[in-house]
Structure 1
């Protein structure tokens, strides 16, 4: 069924909104200092569940592509994300992660041939500044390993987002199967590493079981399906500009559920970051490219119209 663009954006935005709860669930419900085990429990059960629902396996070159995307979006991203969450104070991981739109803009030039506009770059800076005002606190010494982990997780997810857009999906394969492949591949990549580094799984109480079920089902299986579905229909830059909704949601949860205060500066930062998120969803104005027509005259509008038509046709075929 066809879906209008605002509805598609709203559904895709549910993914980072869900991810905004990850920090609270990790710190309040899960065993401490087990980032690799937590990453496995988040990715592998969700991947196997979606794989059972999709009932489609990769074919040919897509075995390799699924492994690469699974490593970037899941296998590397999850452990680095949880490592940074365990080691960094005051939401610093969210600050580093908020530069994701700028990462994606740069990678889109190299891998997609997209040229970022000045508005895109300024909006990316505004989003990072807004998130910084919301979550950055002066107290607490920075941990170098945590900062590097946060930076690497952002780079990994940004690269995976752009490659997901570049490669699309095989004919006849929907976003559910693509999500299942990546979560399963990423989970299988992390599992032996978790066993080697952290040893046997810890004993789990009811709170931890509930936390892991939430992370695997709502926070991962559903959220990543919506995310990759959005990547297939929106531009990579538009999708990644939804990312700041994650730390904003985390701040709201901290205020509503954990008793954390929101200062006027934080509220101003939330407004700035949210405004940048909305601005990032606006379609850029078409750039007039002067081309020589068959009659020897220059034409821009007709050429742009032809390109738009071709883009829609190719996008439809790839879905």
Structure 2
């Protein structure tokens, strides 16, 4: 019963995040990208503010780490990431955008290695990074690397890099704000940054606005379902199944995006795009080979039975990374001693 519930929640999260790319595509038909991204986070910020009030969570930043967390979240995780994402998707299909975003778990380990103390990245993760980047090259070449398609891929890659960097930087901070309050503040700051960029961008000022029922529906869906609803589903699943399993949603969401893009928007998927996605999935598997084995091994009768992250590990953007210490090795050894 519990497994079935977890599967339902996982599918719901994949749908909430995968269909977001189709909603973005719909909104971009009538709104300039930066303004559209800003309006999305206006809606999401209101939803999160109401959630903070409903939960009676602490909302006032008290420490320097709180303010830094809000700054990193608002600038890198919302403003830069979604600004580049929305502009990049104006050049490519929703499926391609979702596939490029699935690079985030592959880009995170090398950044964690550089910025987090005592972090280690094994040889398979290095190979995985190379294979994942090769997948992006294949996808970029599938549409011609010198036209708008290639520009869109480049912008989306930078969006993924911005999110991975922001996740690692936030992990270094030890603030006092609850996650929901930190997210609310980050969305308010990110929305303000996106509005400022929209006003300053000449192309956006020259674009006429046409608010249609489809535009309003896309905004409401992105703000309430994909952002607020997706956030709640993510953290419920993170608590229930652990970081290794929940990170797999990064590879279910592009499949959902491709299916919805084909069914709703009439988008087509090329063989090269599929090959690029396969390379990214293989790269992810190499980067997360230890965590995947800890998850799959027990179900096959091998390996550790305990889920979760060792006490000296960290979770960045839904991905678990383990510090190289004798404590971790003892934890890994003891994790084999568990009941069926």
- Indicate whether the TM-score tops 0.5: yes
**148, 151, 154: which one pairs with 2:160?**
154
Q: How many residues align?
A: 289
Q: CA deviation at 1:67?
A: 1.7
Q: CA deviation at 1:202?
A: 2.4
In structure 2, runs of 5+ residues without a counterpart are 54-58, 295-302, 305-324, 335-340
**Contact 1:83–1:149, Cα closer than 8 Å, also in 2:** yes
**48, 51, 54: which one pairs with 1:53?**
51
Residue 228 of structure 2 is matched in structure 1 by: 221
Residue 305 of structure 1 is matched in structure 2 by: 330
**Would the alpha carbon gap of residues 306 and 245 (structure 1) be closer, same or farther in structure 2, given more than 3 Å must change?**
closer
**Would the alpha carbon gap of residues 87 and 244 (structure 1) be closer, same or farther in structure 2, given more than 3 Å must change?**
same
**Contact 1:100–1:240, Cα closer than 8 Å, also in 2:** no
Q: CA deviation at 1:76?
A: 0.7
Which stretch of the first structure deviates more once superposed, 38-47 or 242-251? Answer: 242-251
Aligned-partner Cα distance in 2 for 1:225–1:156: 22
Q: CA deviation at 1:152?
A: 1.9
Q: CA deviation at 1:182?
A: 1.6
**Would the alpha carbon gap of residues 307 and 24 (structure 1) be closer, same or farther in structure 2, given more than 3 Å must change?**
closer
Q: CA deviation at 1:258?
A: 3.6
Summarize the alignment of residues 84-123 of structure 1 with structure 2, pairs less than 5 Å apart: 84-88=88-92, 93-94=97-98, 96-113=100-117, 114-123=119-128
Residue 21 of structure 2 is matched in structure 1 by: 23
Asked if 1:185 corresponds to 2:195, the answer is no
**230, 243, 256: which one pairs with 1:249?**
256
Q: CA deviation at 1:190?
A: 1.5
**Contact 2:111–2:165, Cα closer than 8 Å, also in 1:** yes
**Contact 1:99–1:125, Cα closer than 8 Å, also in 2:** no
Q: CA deviation at 1:161?
A: 1.7
Aligned-partner Cα distance in 2 for 1:14–1:60: 36
**Would the alpha carbon gap of residues 91 and 267 (structure 1) be closer, same or farther in structure 2, given more than 3 Å must change?**
closer
Q: TM-score, normalised by structure 2?
A: 0.67
Q: TM-score, normalised by structure 1?
A: 0.70
Aligned-partner Cα distance in 2 for 1:248–1:126: 19
RMSD: 4.2
Aligned-partner Cα distance in 1 for 2:133–2:219: 30
Aligned-partner Cα distance in 1 for 2:236–2:60: 18
Summarize the alignment of residues 193-212 of structure 1 with structure 2, pairs less than 5 Å apart: 193-197=197-201, 198-199=204-205, 202-212=209-219
Asked if 1:167 corresponds to 2:195, the answer is no
- Secondary structure in 2 matching 1:244: helix
Which stretch of the first structure deviates more once superposed, 217-226 or 237-246? Answer: 237-246
